[in-house]
Amino acid sequence: MFPKTESQARLLEMAERLATQFAETAAQHDRDGSFPTENFEAMREAGYLAAAIPEEYGGPGHGLTDLVLAQLALAKGDGSTTLSVGMHLMTTGTEATARSWPAEIRERIFRDVVENGALVNNIAAEPEMGSPRSGGRPATVLEPDGPGRWRLTGRKTFSTLSPMLTYFVSYCAIEDGSGDVGRVAVHRDRPGITIDETWDALGMRATGSHDVVYEQVPIEDGDIVSRRSLEKNREVMTGGGAWFPLLVGAANLGVSEAARDYAVEFARDRNPGGRGRLAEIPYVREQIARADTKLIAARNLLLTTSEDWEQHPGARGQLDSQVSTAKLLATNTAIEVVEIAMRLVGGVALQRNQPLERYFRDVRGGLVNPPIDARALENIAKVALDGDEPGSIAPRLD
């Protein structure tokens, strides 16, 4: 997709410029498992962190399509940075669209992002519960501590961006006798917050997805983002949404585009024994073409889906299966394309001083980000089989 507006083009150019910069240190951060603080300072200075903040709060008001396009480009430089900043962008972007937070909290956080480069992420997964998308009741508890006051206690896992987060929007059980669950916006400065540096993963090693431990953290009524019954929360958590799956898909697919570019350059330049370039071998040409066809299809579906979702808000209920398909295709295509690149490059692909082995590890992270393949396929089948009439793959505007 070509950029369709000047604003979209400017954001894409920013992402491409940042990607070139981030590529210089991506391997070192991956090797060390260190958080790329300097990348986030660069994105803060460039204004990338505020990209999804609406104009009424002082931001540029970029929508989902703009950010899918930008994230595809950014991931070619550093997959970990792209995935982690994507969590911030999808949190702010989702709220910019849904307007589900109390107005005072939205104003406070959005202004902080624009003016100070604050980072925010939804912190929900736990050691026993895993992802909250299953509708489970969290072990993290919010207990009354006097009128308008509370205390938050628990442990959260997979807390991406934890080394630099300003706001931890945390899922918890509200223990006031109501049986409700909710989310609270916890500022980093509150006492009782500890980052337990547990993140030592196969891929996406520089996302800072450590455990966050809350020990009697003071919370006020004005920090409560939402509260509802567990049953109602299950309905909300299993409902459709596009920001998370499409930005996760973009991060992984962008990494595989970098792998494709590496393999193409390798094939064009490699002339083993002076017997001719790899690019002239029919098998090599066929495999590069296969990789490109997969990438073009997955990339176009991501962007088409984001445009449909953004431009037709009244029809979003019809797009659940398309969103699931776009994420599933993007993450699985990323794995397939990197494997094609590794087979073509051969033994060099296994070397730690070359990027392909990092790409190979990084793209596997998308398989465990919601919706996982099984849940995505379940969602797609539900549309087709469970309604009063057979569902169609072609959405219709009324």
List pLDDT tens digits, range 170-212.
999 999 999 999 999 999 999 999 999 999 999 999 999 999 9
Please indicate, yes or no, if residue 398 is contained in any of the structural domains.
no
Query: Which tokens in the block code for residue 27?
Result: 């391997």
Q: Are residues 33 and 95 in the same domain?
A: yes
Please indicate, yes or no, whether residues 253 and 380 belong to a single structural domain of this protein.
yes
Q: Looking at the domain assignment, is residue 216 inside a domain?
A: yes
State the Cα–Cα distance between residues 113 and 381, nearest whole angstrom.
39
Cβ neighbours around 46 below 10 Å, total = 17
Please check whether residue 232 lies inside any domain of the structure: no
For the chain, residues with pLDDT lower than 50 are none
pLDDT given at position 395: 80
Distance between CA atoms of 153 and 185, rounded to whole angstroms? Answer: 14
CATH number of 290's domain:
1.20.140.10
Q: d(Cα 199, Cα 211) in Å, to the nearest integer?
A: 8
Domain identity same for 82 and 150: no
Strands 120-123 and 167-174: parallel
- State how many domains the chain has: 3
Q: Whose structure tokens read 């912190």?
A: 123
**Residue 292 covered by a domain:** yes
Domain boundaries, position 303: 239-385
Last residue of a domain, one of 70, 99, 118: 118
Amino acid 238: pLDDT = 56
* Residues 98, 157 within the same domain: no
* Interacting residues of 277 by C-beta distance below 8 A, sequence separation 6+: 267, 268, 269, 270, 271
| Domain final residue, candidates 118, 152, 185 | 118
Q: What is the pLDDT of residue 95?
A: 97
* 207, 74: one domain: no
In a domain, 393, yes or no: no
Residues 283 and 311 in one domain: yes
Claim to verify: residue 376 and residue 250 sit in the same structural domain: yes
- The pLDDT value given to residue 389: 78
Shared domain for 55 and 94, answered yes or no, is: yes
Both 361 and 292 in a single domain? yes
224-228 vs 181-187, strand pairing mode: antiparallel
Whether residues 245 and 367 share a domain: the answer is yes
Q: Do both 249 and 381 map to the same domain? A: yes
**Residue 108 sits in a domain of what CATH number?**
1.10.540.10
Domain limit, last residue, from 207, 227, 247: 227
Do 270 and 380 sit in the same domain of this protein? yes
Angle at 198 between CA 197 and CA 204, to 5 degrees: 100
For the whole model, what pTM was predicted?
0.95
Return the CATH number at 132.
2.40.110.10
